[in-house]
Amino acid sequence: MMAAWQSAGTSMKDTLELEMLSKSVETGPDASTFTIRDGALSYAPFDRTKTPDGKVYDDQGNIISPIDEFNAPVGAGLCQDATAMFPAAAIPGDDGIKPYGSCLLLDQAAPILGQIFQVDLKVDETHPVCETTRTTISALRIGDYLIGTMPGEMTVMLAEYLRSKSPTAADHTILVSYAQGHMGYLLRPEDWLLGGYEPSVTFWGPLAAEYMGEQLLKLMPLALTPMREDASTSSATRVATATTTDALDKDDPAPMAGTIPSEVPPDVWARTGHPAQAQPAASIPRVSGIATFTWIGDDPLVKTPHVQLQVETSPGVYAAVARKSGRPVEDQEILVAYTPEPLQRSGPQTHVWVAEWQAVPWLGAPGLDTLDDRGGVPTGKYRFHVDGKDWSLDSDPFTVVAGGLEATATRATQITANVSWHAQTGWRLMDMNMPSNHPVPVRAQQVTVALLDAANTQLSSASATTDANGAVSVANNAAATQVKITDRFGNVATAPIN
């Protein structure tokens, strides 16, 4: 991902092929729907008068078809072991057959589960749970890449199988789980039959997930043609979902919205902890510094705040910090946390919000968009700008200053310093292989190394390049007791020589 991002400047295109198709797919309750592998695997017709033969595999270890153990006319769940949790809801004849033995017929289990979870599943012996009878899949082409969606959590086995069958190369096929529906865990039949937790969160047995994958494989080639197809012509009817209206209390207008508290309430916490004050600190060092701003805003049921980072362009004049694309810095660059006061609603609440920004270059910062540039966010005055419902406010300005650099030094035949950037409470990416809040070596970069004596008098100064571990060496000087490192951005660290 990092390599693709870094090379984007030389590989960008001015036009891309783009097409998306979506299709509604029928699932249950017809057993024949789930036939897969060109008919090699299927269910026996669902029939409550039949009992299974108890044979899951043949002598060669292949799955016997048609499968008569999953005899579930309106679906079954909790299939994971050989014995049912509620024997009265088990599939007749499956006791002792893993994982079918623990399957619970949804119509039989619904009265029990409904009381436990206080929900009416609206299922009986001839009517499945409505939401389990249809789902949606999509295929999206973006240039040479093809994105396919699946309504559930795919296992690696199924994802690799679908990539191997994709009409584009496997490394150009992107599969997205949890999209437009949820059939539970999506496993290939061989995986499902091993039992365990994942098969328990399914409704239509071992063939359902691969069946859905096959439907996606049929849809994906249509996104690659030069013509615009309409996948809905072969779609199943869609489930008419009920319209729900919540009765949650909400504050509109919210008390004191658009104001800054004189003290931050004790229950308010952000990523870096409880803010000591509402306004940002006056000075924020590069890399290690976190600018934090707390305000009272709107009820999130009414509006979430829009937070933007601004920079001073002339005395007292601020404008949005912009990326190379011209888009303002907001969203992922700024963390926003929310706390209602009081935490438990007993009447109107005040709605406290906190924004946090780590002083490192933003994505798309001109000339500063590699990890080697993390110490180079432009210095100067910044502020947060917040827009709410019918109000806006600005934080006090804060000044980004040089900082974030650390060093240690040792003496042998030479004096060697190890140089790093360190954000103890940071979260922004600093290194591809190290935690963001650990010291990160300043690798292969030019620094200035000054040797100082005990009175802080400079004895010598030299430019050098750090190695792959952030180390740099200079000639020994017996009078030197300290080393002062200045990186190419002007950040400075001083350390005793041990």
Query: Would you kindly state where each structural domain of the chain is located, as residue ranges?
Result: 26-130, 132-234, 283-401, 405-496
pLDDT tens-place string over residues 420-462: 999 999 999 999 999 999 999 999 999 999 999 999 999 999 9
pLDDT (average), residues 79-91 = 93
Give the helix/strand (H/E) hosting 488. none
**What's the average model confidence in pLDDT over 316-329?**
94
- pLDDT tens per residue across span 24-58: 999 999 999 999 999 999 999 999 999 999 999 99
- Mean pLDDT score of the chain, rounded to an integer? 94
Structure tokens at 364: 């798309």
What pLDDT band is residue 256 in, cutting at 50, 70 and 90?
very high
- Confidence at residue 246, expressed as pLDDT on a 0 to 100 scale: 79
The CA–CA distances, whole Å, from 433 to 2, 62, 256, 360, 436 equal 12, 43, 45, 18, 9
Residue 203: name the closest of 93, 286, 110 by CA. 110
Categorize the per-residue pLDDT at 120 as very low, low, confident or very high, splitting at 50, 70 and 90.
Answer: confident
pTM of the model: 0.66
Q: Residue ranges of the alpha helices (H) in 239-369? A: none
pLDDT at position 6: 73
Confidence band for 244, pLDDT divided at 50, 70 and 90: confident
pLDDT of residue 474: 96
- The residue-averaged pLDDT of 275-290 equals 98
Strands 145-149 and 173-176: parallel
pLDDT-derived band of residue 203, with 50, 70 and 90 as boundaries?
Answer: very high
Mean pLDDT of 214-237: 90
pLDDT of residue 15: 86
Check residue 1 and give its pLDDT: 72
Pairing of strands 398-401, 405-411: unpaired
pLDDT at 106 over 80: yes
Which structure tokens are listed for 188? Answer: 């290939």
CATH 2.60.40 fits 405-496, yes or no: yes
Residue 496 has pLDDT above 80, yes or no: yes
Q: What is the mean pLDDT of residues 217-244?
A: 85
The stretch 260-274 carries a mean pLDDT of 96
Burial class, 32, CB count within 10 angstroms (exposed 0-12 / middle 13-18 / buried 19+): exposed
- 484: helix, strand or coil: strand
Q: What is the pLDDT of residue 112?
A: 81
d(CA 484, CA 309): 33
Q: What is the pLDDT of residue 86?
A: 87
Mean pLDDT of 202-227: 96
- 3-state SS, residue 320: strand
CA-derived radius of gyration, the chain: 31
Candidates 442, 441, 458, 438; CA nearest to 450 is: 458
283-401 and 405-496, same CATH topology:
yes
Pick the CATH number of 283-401 from 2.60.40, 3.40.50, 1.10.10, 1.10.20: 2.60.40
pLDDT in the model for residue 113: 77
pLDDT of 482 higher than 90: yes
Picking from 154, 110, 163, 164, the residue whose alpha carbon sits closest to that of residue 132 is: 110
